[in-house]
Structure 1
């Protein structure tokens, strides 16, 4: 099997190379899959995609004519591929069922702590020679109410971390995690009640038609004034214009974001000495109480190893058996 790996980066290629053990023919490109690069797949049997790639119905049709039979996603989420179209064309798609949930959960915690304890501002003031503490007051997490939207593996890991801080936990998820309730005393409730009662809100749910722009003006208006808002899930779960409005009114005191709804053209690229043509993003990152990281929550050695091993396992399963247990369609 000949495989083209789209959106290859310096951080993931070594892990993929190690996971193959030289048994698969991988060809790498740093280009993302889009209308201009889809033709690179000619002559390959399979492709591997990352979160920065889009596989629309139109592109899938082209991939099918090029002879692509398999698509191995290097991610848990699959909102960037038209599964219905892939299914109709007979193209098999498999994702990464899971990787280290601690990577993202710990990053969400880092964003929260950095914002709460004013670490970025403190460092800037110190570099200026200003060692005054007047503008660096935070709050104890102990005893605060933390609302967690989505209690899958990552949300559950985050809940356990917050439980360790001594927080009261609220959750919103269609499926209650009974084990998590026993371990953390977390209380499941409606998303409205979660917003109304939480001092910190962290998103850990997948992006799908039901969750797209779920966090919008209506829910922001129901939040407690001064809430801390964390999103390490998917950017399009949050309406950014409404988020900015909530920041401006003071409803949201601070926001830690590892994702952004229009991140595809911004994140994972070098924009030094280049202007980012996105006014919404410019406004968002100009807020002193907003901390944005470039979708790096997953970026730990353990997670990268898990992603690489599962990706290669899917490709090997197709190579030798024609079927993978992680197929989505």
Structure 2
């Protein structure tokens, strides 16, 4: 099967070629994002493989269908960037990677939390300059703090378990569907408002959709404890950048750690170190001393990359051989 791979990085080429060592499929790797102007790259391809910042809206799906594309393979879990209704209308099958390494993202979440509350990133920068002063580096214990987990799928559940059993935190959770594994370790589920009001630390692990977009906004931010810590390793659109800036400036948030950003599409996975980044909100956020931002790398482990490639290739093969597709996504209305 001939597949156009959009937003391809060097690590995508390496892992997909390794997984495709028998050369069952032909992959055409492109650095470009999937958007209207780049649909021509899928010419003569039966499928496209896309990532988190590629755009598969209704119009683009229609354009892909005209080129004979029958399969859209997401090499990620989230699918908020794909119009599933349009895909169904045009007879295009959509598959994703339901999970690749929830441990990778859960571990990274805890790493970000430790770095921001103990100011490890600032300490590292000082020592690089031979500055060994501890002034301004006072941190906080995690032990005994209340941690709110918004979204308790595999990743959120792992973070909840780590915080409760590993750090002896008080953990509360919120999700539209309760996870028995979370309830089994006596973590209570509460409403979002109560979770925000009572938590010292809030971790976002829910998917991005019409109901969760800007979950943290100018209304909900006022519910946070003064000086609370917010961690987001899920999707940038769960938070509103202007709200985050306001919250940091007003001291509502004492610390903020992000691995995702709402407008990351034009920034992340690229090297702008020799250029001026013309995103005023991002520049303001990253200028604050109590904000730590990384470029969507929580998933980025050897194990996760291999799992993504393997699962994607299995889905492509099953589609090609018209077998049942457990990774298939369908519009549910």
TM bin, normalised by shorter chain, reads over 0.9
Deviation at 1:324, TM superposition (A): 2.0
CA distance in 1, matches of 2:273, 2:227: 34
What is the alpha-carbon root mean square deviation over aligned residues?
Answer: 1.1
Superposed CA deviations along residues 186-237 of structure 1, whole A, max 9, x for unmatched, are: 1110111111111110000000111011111211111111111100000001
**Does 2:18 correspond to 1:18?**
yes
* Deviation of the 1:322 alpha carbon: 5.7
Other structure's SS at 1:217 match = coil
Q: Which residue does the alignment assign to 1:233?
A: 234
What secondary structure, in the 3-state scheme, does the structure 2 residue paired with 1:37 have? helix
More displaced stretch, 121-130 vs 273-282: 121-130
The reply on whether 1:278 has 2:266 as its aligned counterpart is no
Q: TM-score, normalised by structure 2?
A: 0.96
Residue deviations 1:269-303 (CA, integer Å, cap 9, x gap): 11121121211111111111110000000001111
Q: Match for residue 6 of structure 1?
A: 6
Give the Cα–Cα distance (whole angstroms) in 1 for the partners of residues 306 and 71 of structure 2: 21
Residue in 1 that maps onto 2:212: 211
Partner Cα distance (1:11, 1:158) in 2: 27
- Supply the distance in 2 between the matched residues of 1:156 and 1:179 (Cα, whole angstroms): 7
Q: Tell me the number of residue pairs that the alignment of Structure 1 and Structure 2 aligns.
A: 328
Counterpart of 2:64 in structure 1 is 63
1:125-274 pair list within 5 angstroms? 125-163=126-164, 164-183=166-185, 185-274=186-275
Match of 2:120 in 1: 119
The answer to which of 194-203 and 20-29 deviates more is 20-29
Deviation, structure 1 residue 52: 2.1
SS for the counterpart of 1:130 is coil
Moved over 6 A (4+): none
SS at 1:325's partner residue? coil
- Deviation string, structure 1 residues 80-134 (Cα, Å, up to 9, x no partner): 1111111111111011111110111111111111111111211222233321212
Distance 1:317 1:261 in 2: 34
In 2, distance between residues paired with 1:272 and 1:178? 45
1:14 deviates by: 1.5
Alpha-carbon separation, structure 1, partners of 2:4 and 2:323: 18
* Aligned counterparts of 1:271 and 1:36: Cα–Cα separation in 2: 22
Do 2:157 and 2:181's aligned partners in 1 also have CA atoms closer than 8 Å?
no
**CA shift at 1:179, angstroms?**
2.2
Q: CA deviation at 1:39?
A: 0.7
Distance 1:91 1:258 in 2: 31
Deviations 1:149-175 (A, max 9, x none): 000000011111112111110101011
The residue that corresponds to 2:328 in the other structure is 327
